[in-house]
């Protein structure tokens, strides 16, 4: 009887332990250290952030604080690195109530989706909400705008600008029209090549076989190429106190071995 009772206690204990695991293991994409969101608001923001994170195959986060003493950029970059790692897909929206600044840090593909002009446009959209203390409204707009930018894709002619060196790296995108034109040209070219070869040699399909063993010769030679006179063109981008870095690109900065985009604005 005692053995049976002990077994029942063990089974019940394991059952409740398994039930409790998901609650403890749940990962929140919203860290509200400033306690500015209601429980239902936290739930909605967390759901929206996770949905967008799945779309970009990375992580989207919202963080609030009243105690940060670091530069908002440093705080946001470090937070994002801890969550997704260096150069992985992700973005964090920081609401720093101590320094009265909002900041967005991006990494991976979100650097290209959130260009400098898009970021400044977002700050313009939420400036009134932030000034009036409607932080939930601003956070909701953040998720909506980030989703819209991802759906719109990387702008044509996009490039990254290294803040320190001024080096420009261009991001080449192929539009649907360009892809269709390339496919059509390749198809027409292959048909034309087939017709020309067939007409020139008067080949009959299925009957002609080329004696390649008798008419081929293989020679192997060693060739060594040295790359010389290779240049990388760079230009210095003037620093802008408003965190804008150009309408067509994304300004990047390096921190702890990773590359980050983004910027901030006071409120």
| pLDDT single digits (tens) 17-74 | 444 443 333 469 999 999 999 999 999 999 999 999 999 999 999 999 999 999 999 9
Res 235 pLDDT > 80 = no
Taking the domains of the chain in order of start, what are their residue ranges?
Answer: 27-171+234-266
Distance CA 183, CA 189 (A): 10
| pLDDT single digits (tens) 89-142 | 999 999 999 999 999 999 999 999 999 999 999 999 999 999 999 999 999 999
- For the chain, what is the mean pLDDT? 81
Distance CA 55, CA 199 (A): 52
CATH assignment, 27-171+234-266? 3.10.310.50
**104 bridge partner residues:** 93, 263
Angle between helices 135-152 and 39-56 (to 10 degrees): 20
Please give the pLDDT value at position 41.
Answer: 97
pTM of the complete model: 0.67
What does the buried/exposed string (b/e) look like for 152-171 if buried means 16 or more CB atoms within 10 Å of the residue's CB?
eebbeebbbbbeeeebbeee
């Amino acid at each position: 009887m005692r053995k049976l009772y002990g077994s029942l206690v063990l089974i019940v204990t394991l059952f409740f332990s398994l039930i409790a695991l998901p609650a403890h293991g749940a990962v929140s994409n919203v860290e509200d250290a400033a306690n500015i969101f209601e429980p239902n608001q936290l739930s909605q923001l967390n759901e929206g952030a996770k949905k967008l994170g799945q779309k970009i195959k990375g992580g989207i986060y919202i963080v609030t604080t009243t105690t940060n003493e670091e530069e908002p950029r440093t705080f946001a970059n470090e937070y994002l690195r801890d969550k997704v790692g260096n150069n992985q897909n992700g973005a964090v929206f920081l609401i720093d109530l101590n320094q009265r600044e909002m900041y967005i840090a991006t990494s991976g593909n979100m650097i290209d989706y959130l260009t400098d002009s898009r970021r400044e446009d977002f700050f313009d959209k939420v400036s009134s909400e932030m000034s009036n203390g409607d932080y939930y409204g601003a956070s909701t707009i953040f998720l909506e705008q980030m989703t819209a930018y991802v759906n719109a894709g990387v702008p044509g002619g996009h490039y990254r600008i290294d803040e320190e060196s001024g080096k420009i790296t261009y991001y080449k995108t192929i539009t649907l029209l360009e892809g269709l034109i390339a496919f059509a040209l390749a198809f027409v070219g292959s048909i034309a090549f087939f017709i020309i070869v067939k007409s020139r040699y008067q080949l009959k399909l299925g009957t002609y076989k080329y004696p390649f063993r008798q008419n081929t010769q293989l020679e192997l030679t060693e060739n060594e190429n040295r790359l010389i006179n290779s240049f990388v063109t760079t230009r210095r981008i003037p620093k802008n106190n408003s965190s804008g870095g150009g309408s067509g690109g994304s300004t990047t900065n390096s921190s702890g071995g990773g590359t980050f985009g983004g910027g901030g604005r006071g409120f």
